[in-house]
Amino acid sequence: MNNYRQLFELGGKTALVVGGGSGIGQATAHGLAAFGAHVICADINLTDAEATVATIQQAGGKAQALLLDMRDSDAIRSALDGVGAVVDVLVCTPSINVRKPLLQISDEEFDRVVNLNLRGTFLLLRAVGKDMAQQRRGSIIVFSSIRAAVIEPGQSVYAATKAGVVQMARTLAAELGPLGVRVNAIAPGVVETPLTAQIKNQPDWHQAYADKSILQRWAQPSEMVGAVIYLASDASSYVTGSLLFVDGGWTAADGRFTPPL
């Protein structure tokens, strides 16, 4: 008989959270540790990663900090070799955005967004995917966005990278599925993180985003954790190549007008 109460347990597993120093990555690191995983908090800002680790350890969890620039393939390989443990779960959260009309985006701005959001994710998936393929197990979770499906003016390059991330994840899922490795993507809606501070600082813009979702509010980073735990654990053992929207209903409803019913 199946022990369904153990479906979400992550004891004995090592989870690498890239972007674990802040925002969704930080919340994810706490959540994975709460379910028993040993969490490696990787971030380009080591101080932030260490702060996350300290709070996890204070709560009785197991964690370590790791300096990592996911734009550098050699740095990724070196970091993975120095971890000293087999990575069972990868969560990739970092991304940046440049909000401008497409015709005003410079070459440098285009390259900067693509270099982290798309190329960096590729480098990370390639390195960790090779290791998981050899061990014939693992769960890879990449963060996309609602912008992979729906857009607004000023989001061209960001949206393109987020759609690209989904297709990379689906392709890797198809390639590594026979080897026991699952790959999925999460598409958040609007979340209160450093990336969205520009919107939060403009009350009308902030309220308009809240009104667009069915739940009539923004999400907190902690509200992404349930989806991560699900995809990291045996609860999703038959789920791969999927895009899970955690968007408060943003992509489900038209949102332009509430008809009188």
CB 221 within 8 A of CB 27: yes
Distance CA 21, CA 9 (A): 23
Q: In terms of residues, how long is the chain?
A: 261
Task: Tally the C-alpha atoms within 13 A of residue 143's C-alpha that lie toward its C-beta.
Answer: 28
Q: Which of 132, 142, 141 is nearest to 179 (CA)?
A: 132
Active site residue 209: no
The one catalytic residue among 4, 158, 230, 238: 158
Under 8 Å CB-to-CB from 251, ≥6 apart: which residues?
146, 149, 150, 187, 189, 245
CB 190 within 8 A of CB 250: yes
Helix%, strand%, coil% for the chain, nearest 5 = 50, 15, 35
Segment (H or E) for 157: helix 156-176
Burial of 52 from C-beta contacts in 10 A (0-12 / 13-18 / 19+): buried
Distance CA 261, CA 258 (A): 9
Active site residues: 158
